[in-house]
Amino acid sequence: ETCNSLSNHAEDKLINKETESRSLAYTPELKASLDIRPGIIKQVLKLVKTLESQPEGASVEENGLTITYFQKRNWSQNFKVASLGETYFVRKELGRGTGHKAMGSFAEAQRRIGDRNDVRLIDSQLGYTDNQGNDYFVAKWENLPVMADYLSQDLSDTEREEIAEKLGFVYDTLADYKDVTTSNMFYDPEHKQVVLFDLEKEDLS
């Protein structure tokens, strides 16, 4: 097994571990949280499995851990995981194999965005992919409206122009990324920030 570090946030390093059968990347912050509660990953995976066949909105609670199945998309099942005062977004990929790749995609996007304060990324924490079809992406939970929904509201011309300028920057900066759309980003109206949550780039060289 090889282990190296990739740039994640400016102040952090992303720990990357790869073998022939699996690829894993995670933040030191997440590792510290997991160390506080050993065995939580197995517990989460077990509970996710029990929810997969349930309708959207189904929830399960066990030993201080609460998981809600809040959304099914074309290529993923999405869960909200709350434990020890922390809340996470967990995406189980369905056949794309992009859980681990997403972490590299986010790191590259962060480098391009730089210090711009009106565009940011969700706080990605872990990506995992193996040759058994297991494929996960984990980030800090964001309680924000999806951009497409926000834009469907009655907004002032000034606000629409401000958002359009931000979106223009995103589309130009991430032109070689897949599916950079208003359905794959949030908007934070309080801080006037575009928040990207679903990024995919095949060639990270």
How far apart (Å, rounded) are the C-alpha atoms in residues 92 and 99? Answer: 8
The closest of 119, 186, 181 to 149, measured between CA atoms, is: 186
List, in sequence order, every residue forming a beta bridge with 7; answer none if it has no partner: 13
Q: Mean pLDDT for each consecutive 10-residue tract of the chain (205 residues)? A: 39 79 91 86 91 94 93 89 91 83 92 96 93 90 96 97 98 95 96 94 70
Per-residue pLDDT, 204: 66
Amino acid in the structure at residue 41: I
Task: Tell me if residue 75 falls in helix, strand or coil.
Answer: coil
How far apart (Å, rounded) are the C-alpha atoms in residues 10 and 199? Answer: 19
Task: At 51, list the tokens.
Answer: 């929810």
List, in sequence order, every residue forming a beta bridge with 124; answer none if it has no partner: 139
* Pairing label, strands 22-26, 124-130: antiparallel
Per-residue pLDDT, 175: 96
How far apart (Å, rounded) are the C-alpha atoms in residues 13 and 9? Answer: 7
Which residues have C-beta within 8 Å of that of residue 62, sequence separation ≥ 6? 43, 47
Per-residue pLDDT, 132: 84
Amino acid in the structure at residue 77: Q
Going from the C-alpha of 165 to that of each of 47, 115, 161, 187, the distances in angstroms are: 42, 16, 6, 13
Per-residue pLDDT, 12: 54
Per-residue pLDDT, 9: 43
